[in-house]
Structure 1
Amino acid sequence: MIDSITIRPFHEDDAIPPITRLLHQAYAPLAAMNLRYTATHQCDEVTRSRLLGGLPWVAELDDEIVATVTLYPYTGGGSGCSWYDTSGVFSFGQFAVRTDLQGRGLGGKLITLMENEASALGASELALDTAEGAHHLIRWYEKLGFRFIEHMDWSSTNYRSVILSKTL
């Protein structure tokens, strides 16, 4: 099944509501842990804004978007996170894989894509943030070579985040 999945850049004419639903579904287990990630409750307008705020990608299976991730190039600072504001540091977010496809390698393929795209655009580091209580996600990212950088307390969430990064 994974071999039948096409990974491609997001197109502005792609429908937003299915991506929002995918995010809500993929983040539902985190919401059940009382972790209020933006993707657990965001509306379509926020989904669109977050997609268009970076370099978004989607994965399709049978003409349905089953995964998404957005690469955010270094913007010169102002994010509120000292590591994200460091020259050469790109980040990714709004990362989701449909729950029935998780654990089959698609997420890893998307992370590899983010690494390759960031490197091609001149990044020296690829970073992300996640809830410090999402131990399973932190372990997964560490297995992919990400390391702890710092803590961050975003005003839009109800948890303290860990900033993880990988040298490219």
Structure 2
Amino acid sequence: MASVRIREAKEGDCGDILRLIRELAEFENLSHQVKISEEALRADGFGENPFYHCLVAEILPAPGELLGPCLVGYGIYCFIYSTWKGRTIYLEDIYVMPEYRGQGIGSKIIKKVAEVALDKGCSQFRLAVLDWNQRAMDLYKALGAQDLTEAEGWHFFCFEGEATRKLAGK
């Protein structure tokens, strides 16, 4: 098996990150919702006050191979605040290309996010998953996550576009 490295994304990775975001959207049957651009990823993740942070999974070439490292997965996270628990890290996306699944790459990304959470003094690590993605839910539970929909009945809501403008009176 090839060697896998999980590392912080660099600005030059944004093209590959966008490719992987589009693959994730296709996997989730939500391709029509992807509006982000490579330029926005650069501006929002690598400026003075980044809106997000990103880890990438790359396959490293074997000694003597001419190909360079290849990005095969990513995890985008940000910091939020819980009024009950304090500092929290939220994993917005995690994705591993289908041909690389089952090799522990997703678990390595999740474990790295957990390390970041502890290093930053977070008391929680949150993420959401579509209700049909049983494989992901099983993985998260196996890693020790609690399903808050089952345990506490939480539902997530989103104001977007016109709803946000109307709410803000604009």
Common fold: TM-score over 0.5: yes
* Partner Cα distance (1:58, 1:84) in 2: 30
Paired-residue identity, %: 20
* Partner Cα distance (2:118, 2:87) in 1: 9
One-letter amino acid of the counterpart of residue 143, structure 1: A
Equivalence for 1:128: 127
Runs of 5+ unmatched residues, structure 2: 60-67, 149-153, 161-170
The verdict on how the C-alpha distance between 1:70 and 1:58 changes in structure 2, with shifts beyond 3 A counting, is same
Whichever of the two has the greater Rg, that structure is 2
Aligned mate of 1:43, from 23, 36, 46: 36
Q: CA deviation at 1:125?
A: 0.9
TM-score, normalised relative to structure 1? 0.70
Residues 14-72 of structure 1, C-alpha deviations (whole Å, 9 max, x = no match):
142221112222342321xxxx388x634324544664422211122242211111231
Equivalence for 1:100: 99
One-letter amino acid of the counterpart of residue 52, structure 2: G
Higher-strand-fraction structure: 1
TM-score, normalised relative to structure 2? 0.70
* Partner Cα distance (1:84, 1:30) in 2: 31
Aligned mate of 2:72, from 66, 73, 79: 66
Check the 8 A contact 1:25/1:99 in 2, yes or no. no
Determine helix, strand or coil for the equivalent of 1:107. helix
CA RMSD between the two structures: 2.7
Q: CA deviation at 1:84?
A: 8.6
Runs of 5+ unmatched residues, structure 1: 77-82, 157-168
Equivalence for 1:139: 138
Q: CA deviation at 1:142?
A: 1.4
The verdict on how the C-alpha distance between 1:134 and 1:64 changes in structure 2, with shifts beyond 3 A counting, is same
Residues 101-135 of structure 1, C-alpha deviations (whole Å, 9 max, x = no match):
01110000110111111011101110011223333
One-letter amino acid of the counterpart of residue 135, structure 1: Q
Higher-helix-fraction structure: 2
Determine helix, strand or coil for the equivalent of 2:147. strand
